[in-house]
Amino acid sequence: MKNILSALMLVVTGFSTSAVAQLSARCSLDDQLTTTTSAQGRNAWSRKCGYISASREAFLNSENEYQVYTNACASYPTVQPGSTCAQYVPDNEAAACIAGLVKLGSCVTGCFTPTQRVDFAGRQLPVPEAYANGMKEVTALTPAAQPGLLSFANQTIRAYVAGDTQEDIFLLKTREGRSLEVTAEHPMLLNDGTMVKARTLKAGDTLMGADGKALTLSEVTVFNFKGQVWNVRPQSTDKAENVMSAEGFLTGSVRFQNEWAADDYRLSLRDEFEVGGL
């Protein structure tokens, strides 16, 4: 008898299981900073108060990441059910220092500009319009999806993410006539199934289209944007079920930018294994 096993390549290093759970909570539940201003404000505060060095601050800013802490968050005391956050931590340099915090790790900022359309249960809508219309599901890959044989299903939306920002936006244009505007850290799926940050892309790179076609980038340009950026966080924590369709591209949800930012992800071809003797 033969079984078909679908493999997603994932590498997580440097964190215990409990630390990963806490980092996930900070990045996606109670300490989600959606703008560059807030993220850099947190890093500046952390450096001022002696939690990180100036070089660490510069590195986090260059990666669009921000420092987070165990059991402390920006949303305290108004936290969601399930949060372990027990005290407030600022996101601006001018705030007074707080002693005794324990560093946990870092989270990532990044989203779509408000005009970019995402597939919400079969409807192509800009994210803010989907939010205004009360859309409760977003279309994403299924765990069985693989390059050359994509399959989709609707996923329950846990939260919409929005924030005001002023930062560089990457405009991705393909030879096939498609285009997408995203922030620097936004996760994009290459045609080989590897998830990468938008800022690493260049003309000639090949992305995977939502229709399974290879999309060759003809141009990658950067422009400064001031306004609101948006993203979606599905309820599911399966990585394939967090790969969504946006303007005909396959792209990752906000989970790839935060709790999975340190992971390597690849949508892999199915491997066939002989398991008859098991």
Is the model's pLDDT at 155 over the cut of 60?
A: yes
The mean-pLDDT minimum among 160-169, 176-185, 264-273 falls in: 264-273
Mean pLDDT check: name the lowest of 12-16, 119-123, 222-226, 229-233. 12-16
Determine the pLDDT at residue 220.
98
Reported confidence tier of residue 264, pLDDT bands at 50, 70, 90 = low
pLDDT at 164: 66
Question: What mean pLDDT is predicted for residues 4-22?
Answer: 38
pLDDT at 242: 93
> How high is the pLDDT of residue 277?
30
Average pLDDT, the chain: 82
The band of 267, judged by pLDDT with boundaries at 50, 70 and 90, is low
Predicted structure pTM score: 0.65
Among 2-11, 42-51, 75-84, the least confident range: 2-11
Q: Where in the chain is the domain with CATH 2.170.16.10?
A: 117-267
Query: CATH number for the 117-267 domain, one of 2.40.50.180, 3.30.110.30, 2.170.16.10, 3.40.640.10?
Result: 2.170.16.10
What is the DSSP track for the chain? Answer: -EEEE--EEEE--S--HHHHHHHHHIIIII----SHHHHHHHHHHHHHTTSS-HHHHHHHHHTTEEEEETTEETTTTS--TT----EE--SSTTSPP-TT--EEEEEE---B-TT-EEEETTEEEEHHHHHHTT--EEEEE-TT-BTTB--EEEEEEEEEEEEEEEEEEEEEEETTS-EEEEETT-EEEBTTSBEEEGGG--TT-EEEBTTS-EEEEEEEEEEEEEEEEEEEEES---SGGGEEEETTEEEE-HHHHTTTTT-EEEE---EEEE-TT-
| Residue 167 predicted with pLDDT over 90 | no
In this predicted model, what pLDDT tens digit does every residue of 54-105 receive, in sequence order?
Answer: 999 998 887 667 899 998 999 899 987 878 899 999 999 999 999 999 998 8
